[in-house]
Amino acid sequence: MHDHGLLLVNLGSPLSTEVKDVRSYLNQFLMDPHVIDLPWPVRRLLVSLILIKRPAESAEAYEQIWWPDGSPLVVISQRLCDAVRPLWRHGPVELAMRYAEPSIEKSLLALVKQGVSKVLIAPLYPQFADSTTTTAIQEAQRVIRKHHLTIELNTLPAFYAEPEYLNALVASTTPTLKEDFDHLLISFHGLPERHLTKREPNNTHCLKSADCCERATGAVLDTCYRAQCIQSAQRFARQAGLKPSQWSVSFQSRLGRAKWIEPYTESRLDELAQQGVKKLLVMSPAFVADCIETYEELGIRGREQFIAAGGEDLTLIPCLNDNADWAEALVRLCEKTLKPAPALA
């Protein structure tokens, strides 16, 4: 029997660019109460309205970035899994997607069939959010209950400030940062503000002041997505040798009319162009694999918007993807999770 199986989990993607597959994926994704945290009847009505036009629009966007062998997110994640597998000495390794295929249920059962007694689930999200990490963990727990599995489940915690992650991030971006550029925009995936405030432990931090996330510590930092994003950006910029004037943070991918965390990437693209930035670099370290939010939202629509606002060029820095440095770093992060905390003196 193996000691510890490893389950890598990413968000997911439609099975194809056909509208019916995109609709099915969006329905599963948006009906997750961790994504749209409204009562079921309200969520069902809202999602039904979204699904009137959104699937066709999203299908067109997916068509622009789809690879011959499938969704970039899934293909890249599988390549990462393949790179991790020979490095993980503790048992078998499988890949799962929270939505669509390969499902968490299918991949978790595959690990069990290979004789594991323990599984480390590794959500591939550097920063913690209920809509990414929590929902993946709860789905794994649901599968364990459903099939009466006798396995121990451990979880890789958020690694936004871990040196293994930051070192890999700096190494992957250094070639591009050596080129001539005016500004680096570090664009993280956005969240509705209410996702942050409901997690705020003592109602004294989140969104109470302009710099609250920059100063977050302790229990607040443990669960505040925006604070974790800012700390990732600060540590990365410092390690990459960037001056404060050379970079800024923004949040992308808004959906619906709810208030989302700011500043918005769309607004920053216009502002930077109007401030005279001509050569803009953009990276999105909330993703470890390139996907529709990077390739299409930033690399296509973002570039078009920036140039229309007066900029000359927008260069999208690739995510960590299946870089060898990242595969090795991920294994080290996971192995650290398996080690018990040192005893207090």
Non-local (6+) Cβ contacts of 116 within 8 A are 1, 2, 3, 4, 5, 91, 92, 151
Q: How far apart are CA 177 and CA 242, in angstroms?
A: 9
Asked whether 80 and 327 are in contact (CB, 8 A), the reply is yes
Cβ neighbours for 307, distance < 8 A, ≥ 6 positions apart = 273, 313, 314
Q: Which two tokens stand for residue 159?
A: 């690694």
2 annotated binding-site participant: no
Please name which of 223, 196, 32, 199 lies closest in space to residue 128, comparing C-alpha atoms. Answer: 223
CA gap 39, 259 in Å, rounded: 18
Q: What is the DSSP letter of 162?
A: -
Residue 205 assigned to a binding site: no
What gap in Å lies between CA 34 and CA 162, rounded to an integer?
Answer: 26
**Which residue type, as a one-letter code, is found at position 218?**
G
**Which residues, 6 or more positions from 342, have their beta carbon under 8 angstroms from its beta carbon?**
none
Residues 6+ apart with CB under 8 A from 216: 205, 224, 227, 231
DSSP assignment of 47-97: HHHHHHHHHHHHHHHHHHH-BTTB-HHHHHHHHHHHHHGGG-TTS-EEEEE
Nearest to 84 by CA among 264, 265, 332, 301: 332
Element (H, E) at 332: helix 324-338
Count of beta carbons in the 10 Å neighbourhood of residue 71: 24
Q: Identify the three-state secondary structure at position 179.
A: coil
What backbone torsions phi and psi does residue 96 show, to the nearest 5 degrees?
Answer: -140, 155
User: Binding site, residues?
Assistant: 189, 293
User: Binding site for Fe(2+), residues?
Assistant: 189, 293
